[in-house]
Chain A
Amino acid sequence: MTGPLLDIQNYRLDIATFDGPVHVLKDINLTVNRGDTLGIVGESGSGKTVLVRSVLGIGPKASKVVEGKIAFDGQDITALPEKDWTKIRGIRISMIFQDPMTYLNPLFTIGQQISDVIAAHEKAAGHGVSLKTTRRARTVELLDQVGLPNPAMLFDQYPHQLSGGMRQRVLIAMALSGKPDLLIADEPTTALDVTVQAQVLDLINSLVEKLNLTVIMISHDIGAIATIAKRCAVMYKGEIVEQGLTADILSAPKHEYTRRLLAAVPDIDTAATKVAAQPAVAEPAKPGVLLEAIGLKKVYRSQSGTEVTAVNSINLSVATGEIFGVVGESGSGKSTLARMLLRLIEPTSGDIIFDGRNISGLTGEPLRLMRRHMQFVFQNPHSALNGRHTIGDAIGEPLRIQTSMSRRDIEARVEALLDIVQLPKMFKYRYPHELSGGQKQRICIARAIALNPRLLILDEPTSALDISVQAQVLDFLQELRAELDLTYVFISHNLAVIRQICDRTIVMKRGEIVEQGETETLFLSPQHEYTKALIESGRKTSRAANLSAPAVS
């Protein structure tokens, strides 16, 4: 076979909106040859998902191809009728998706979903649907191929019974069922834990080799791209601003945007510059312990009576003025811990001591008043703001609830807070949907500091944000702490971020602290196996992405 497998030429796509057409893709030229591994990097809204979905004919409904064409294996598929797609979708081109939970139908068994895909392919190929048992055997074989244990048993299980990593493997098995020529992976590791990310990337790599797959992988995580893709394209605002060999782009980025993007990627192997300067600021001011947890425990009991210990007898103490990191994978109990520290979740047992006062027994008014000293910033700023309230309402809310300030004073304070988070005053009249993710997170932070709290608990404050925005928000958080004399409890699954900003860190696994200490010591000489594994998996993608960064000894 000559010619490229996928050839996109001068492709332009508009999406119709109330305010007229939006140019989502501009002049895209992209060629993928058989056996290629191509990565597409870009931030949310850069058009990368729309682009790959167009390749499968499942782009947004209101979209219109203005110019150009997409050819797959010599065939123009730009305006293919729906019935011809059945011979391509899932069979010749297939796709794996970002969030393996939401991309599997919750009401059907794993086996049924994969067998259905197989049946659909057989129908499309024209040679009748095979027997149920044959399809079952093929499904089990596929599940086995993606490294899932006990595939025969998995067949009858439902998605919710599987872990995130297993679900992603199921989706990969589904995508492989048609023996595709081209596999498109849309952010396949973004929703997964660090250690699982590494495993899934390994799996994709091994499949590429074994099945001689052609892969297009899109991600905002340049590290993940670097571990898979030999070639790479950088998308920015609907355009491909740079493409070439991944190694070249990483070591010598040409476009301004690429350079910015690479600079923003935190490096797990770089010690934060601010850590050294930090103690000098914090210690003389107010030494001592601000927050302490003693034997904190949370047990959840399901309706059927089984008990799950989410957090098991945790002891910790956070010094005044420090950034205290909590790192762990999903299910390690870090969010439960964070919420218990604020008594948003009631601990099963144990004490929480804030500023020398035991707050675990507080109820009613005293508890409410205590809350003004400790505030929470949530992971997803998009859902943490009420879409029907203006930004001014959102920031002013704690003031209305906790103080007896007049309307005018609240207005003034809201403006001052917007100033602190470096946003224009006029933003108070806007609504959340008019703001970007980074701006929304700043609003959430403004709301959290409205009452001059002494402690902020930040639960993965940057993981819903793009990388360049993440860098800005992290910098901003550090400035803010110095300015307002704050103490942070900072929760993250991202080790590079933790290393960048935390003074001391605890590593959590299955509700327990497996290791704790100074962040730098933790990274330089981890003692516990789990910490080592976490750092190792994090390093895999981080290293790949930081080829260009100056080596740090």
Chain B
Amino acid sequence: MLAFAFRKVLTLVGTMIGIAALTFVITNVAPGDPARLVAGPNATEDMVTTIRTEYGLDKSLPEQFVVYMGDLVTGDLGQSIVTTRPVLEEVLRYAPATLELVFVAMAIGIIVGVPLGMLSAVYKDGPIDHITRIFSISGVALPAFWFGIILQLTFAVDLGWLPVSGRLPLVTRPPETVTGLLLVDSLLAGRLDTFWTALRHIILPAIVLSFPCLASILRVNRAEMIEVLQSDYIVAARAHGIASFRIVAIYALKNALLPTLAMIGLRFGWMLGSTVLVETVFDWPGIGLYAVSSALSSDFKPVIGVTLVIGFFFIVANTLVDLAYAWIDPRLRSA
């Protein structure tokens, strides 16, 4: 198992280097002279040359690549042109909000999706199955911005149960930053009221973000459960007199969970990338918003920074899924 984990971590490092190289290539393939872009439309030729030297753009591509990778290793993602602050610092400031949103959305997706998938498999073609089918199709089909606005109108504007947008009201003093996740930090600081406020703020965006993910987890888990429930060892478990609930919830679910896990890993990355829309609708101060505003002002370093960070979390999530696979399936451990 340890050797397996070690190999997985090695792959993680390798993939990370690959992503870094790829982002480097993409930025150099993109048209336009970055130095001229930075200097602005009215800059003189001298100014452009100065900037080019300053940013190391006058060196050959391989040299630039070495410098770029070297900077990455030391955690230097460059500087934002707009704010003139280190990109790493800014990304680290915005990332926790996005991660918090994704974690909560993922939790909703798993906690609701897996049992619903189980139920619709057990009662296949029954009323529950039909309802979850409608539910999951709409989950994939509804555009996030539209669904978000509808939820805002209903629960925030009309009913007034939940706040419309934002992460915390301006008047609330945020808890001391430990993890950057408000829900966790407020609990650590022992401030239940802040926890409650933060929770009320995150519910709507998390539901919107989780909906497509929930739908696909539900579908995959349903399909797998149906298949597993027909397998020989389930027949055998029934014949041996094991209780039905135990058969479904333990014997079958553990087997059905493997493909569902793979789906969860993929959906995690997808969510990180698609927070942009949800963050825009709910004015959520995460890296999605940061990336969009940077891109709109042709500020490339932050965009690359965000890409790398999302890539990093995506790979980490999938490595964890791989490890969970091996934890669940003994056949993978010896391989």
Q: Does A274 contact B (CB under 8 A)?
A: no
Q: Does B3 contact A (CB under 8 A)?
A: yes
Find out whether the CB atom of A103 lies under 8 angstroms from the CB atom of B233. yes
A interface bracket (residues with beta carbon within 8 Å of B): 35 or more
Q: Does B83 contact A (CB under 8 A)?
A: no
A102-B233, A103-B232, A106-B255 given; A174·B240 CB < 8 A: yes
| Cα separation A91 to B242 with both chains bound (whole Å) | 11
A106 contacts across to B, CB distance below 8 A: 233, 255, 329-331
Find out whether the CB atom of B232 lies under 8 angstroms from the CB atom of A99. yes
Find out whether the CB atom of A105 lies under 8 angstroms from the CB atom of B238. no
B330 contacts across to A, CB distance below 8 A: 106-107, 109, 158, 160
Scan residues 1-18 of chain B and give those whose CB is less than 8 A from a CB of chain A. Answer: 3
A117-B240, A120-B240, A120-B242 given; A102·B335 CB < 8 A: no
Q: How far is the CB of B257 from chain A (nearest CB, A)?
A: 9
| Cα separation A175 to B236 with both chains bound (whole Å) | 10
A102-B231, A304-B335 given; A171·B236 CB < 8 A: yes
Q: Does A307 contact B (CB under 8 A)?
A: no
Q: Does A116 contact B (CB under 8 A)?
A: yes
| Cα separation A102 to B235 with both chains bound (whole Å) | 10
Q: Does B239 contact A (CB under 8 A)?
A: yes
| Cα separation A85 to B239 with both chains bound (whole Å) | 10
Q: How far is the CB of B143 from chain A (nearest CB, A)?
A: 35
Most chain-A CB neighbours within 10 Å: which of B238, B239, B331? Answer: B239
Smallest Cβ-Cβ distance to A177: which chain B residue: B240
Find out whether the CB atom of B241 lies under 8 angstroms from the CB atom of A160. no
Q: How far is the CB of A417 from chain B (nearest CB, A)?
A: 36
Find out whether the CB atom of B241 lies under 8 angstroms from the CB atom of A91. yes
Q: Does A178 contact B (CB under 8 A)?
A: yes
Q: Does B66 contact A (CB under 8 A)?
A: no
Smallest Cβ-Cβ distance to B228: which chain A residue: A105
A105 contacts across to B, CB distance below 8 A: 233, 237, 251, 255
Scan residues 224-251 of chain B and give those whose CB is less than 8 A from a CB of chain A. Answer: 231-233, 235-244, 246, 251
How many residues of chain B are within 8 Å of chain A by beta carbon?
A: 24
B331 contacts across to A, CB distance below 8 A: 106, 158, 160
Scan residues 106-133 of chain A and give those whose CB is less than 8 A from a CB of chain B. Answer: 106-109, 116-117, 120-121, 123-124
A89, A91, A123, A303: the one contacting B238 at CB < 8 Å is: A89
B3, B242, B243: the one contacting A304 at CB < 8 Å is: B3
Find out whether the CB atom of B232 lies under 8 angstroms from the CB atom of A107. no
Find out whether the CB atom of B239 lies under 8 angstroms from the CB atom of A94. yes
Smallest Cβ-Cβ distance to B234: which chain A residue: A105
Q: How far is the CB of B129 from chain A (nearest CB, A)?
A: 15
A82-B244, A106-B329, A160-B331 given; A58·B232 CB < 8 A: no
Q: Does B93 contact A (CB under 8 A)?
A: no
Q: Does B328 contact A (CB under 8 A)?
A: yes
A158 contacts across to B, CB distance below 8 A: 330-331
Q: Does B130 contact A (CB under 8 A)?
A: no
| Cα separation A523 to B254 with both chains bound (whole Å) | 49
The A contact surface, by secondary structure, is: loop
Find out whether the CB atom of A90 lies under 8 angstroms from the CB atom of B241. yes
A95, A108, A123, A177: the one contacting B251 at CB < 8 Å is: A108
| Cα separation A116 to B246 with both chains bound (whole Å) | 10
Find out whether the CB atom of A120 lies under 8 angstroms from the CB atom of B233. no
Scan residues 185-234 of chain A and give those whose CB is less than 8 A from a CB of chain B. Answer: none
Q: Does A104 contact B (CB under 8 A)?
A: yes
A107-B328, A108-B251 given; A90·B231 CB < 8 A: no
Q: Per-position contact with A for B299-335: 1 when CB-CB < 8 Å, else 0?
A: 0000000000000000000000000000011110011
| Cα separation A490 to B231 with both chains bound (whole Å) | 32
Q: How far is the CB of B150 from chain A (nearest CB, A)?
A: 40
Scan residues 87-130 of chain B and give those whose CB is less than 8 A from a CB of chain A. Answer: none
Scan residues 281-321 of chain A and give those whose CB is less than 8 A from a CB of chain B. Answer: 302-304
Find out whether the CB atom of A97 lies under 8 angstroms from the CB atom of B240. no
Find out whether the CB atom of B242 lies under 8 angstroms from the CB atom of A116. yes
A97, A109, A123, A124: the one contacting B236 at CB < 8 Å is: A97
Scan residues 125-181 of chain B and give those whose CB is less than 8 A from a CB of chain A. Answer: none
B3 contacts across to A, CB distance below 8 A: 304
B328 contacts across to A, CB distance below 8 A: 107
| Cα separation A91 to B233 with both chains bound (whole Å) | 18
| Cα separation A173 to B244 with both chains bound (whole Å) | 21
Most chain-A CB neighbours within 10 Å: which of B233, B236, B240, B255? Answer: B240
Q: How far is the CB of A181 from chain B (nearest CB, A)?
A: 14
Q: How far is the CB of B137 from chain A (nearest CB, A)?
A: 25
Smallest Cβ-Cβ distance to B254: which chain A residue: A107
A99-B232, A102-B233 given; A107·B329 CB < 8 A: yes
Find out whether the CB atom of A117 lies under 8 angstroms from the CB atom of B329. no
A97 contacts across to B, CB distance below 8 A: 232, 235-236, 239
Find out whether the CB atom of A95 lies under 8 angstroms from the CB atom of B233. no
Find out whether the CB atom of A58 lies under 8 angstroms from the CB atom of B240. no
| Cα separation A102 to B241 with both chains bound (whole Å) | 18
| Cα separation A104 to B238 with both chains bound (whole Å) | 12
Q: How far is the CB of B332 from chain A (nearest CB, A)?
A: 10
Q: Does A86 contact B (CB under 8 A)?
A: yes
Q: Does A352 contact B (CB under 8 A)?
A: no
B242 contacts across to A, CB distance below 8 A: 90, 116-117, 120
| Cα separation A117 to B328 with both chains bound (whole Å) | 21
| Cα separation A108 to B253 with both chains bound (whole Å) | 12
| Cα separation A303 to B331 with both chains bound (whole Å) | 13
A175 contacts across to B, CB distance below 8 A: 240
Q: How far is the CB of B100 from chain A (nearest CB, A)?
A: 33
| Cα separation A302 to B238 with both chains bound (whole Å) | 36
Ordered by A's residue number, 18 sampled pairs between the chains whose C-beta atoms are within 8 Å are: A58-B238, A58-B239, A85-B241, A94-B241, A99-B232, A102-B231, A102-B233, A103-B233, A103-B235, A105-B233, A106-B329, A107-B328, A116-B242, A117-B241, A160-B330, A160-B331, A303-B335, A304-B334
Known: A102-B233, A103-B235, A103-B236. 16 other contacts (CB 8 A): A58-B235, A89-B238, A89-B239, A90-B241, A97-B236, A99-B232, A104-B236, A106-B329, A106-B330, A107-B329, A117-B240, A120-B240, A120-B246, A121-B241, A158-B330, A303-B335
Q: Can you list the 6 inter-chain pairs with the closest CB atoms, starting with the nearest?
A: A90-B241, A89-B241, A90-B240, A102-B232, A158-B330, A103-B236
What residues make up the interface of A, taking CB atoms closer than 8 Å to B?
56, 58, 82, 85-86, 88-91, 94-95, 97, 99, 102-109, 116-117, 120-121, 123-124, 158, 160-161, 171, 174-175, 177-178, 302-304
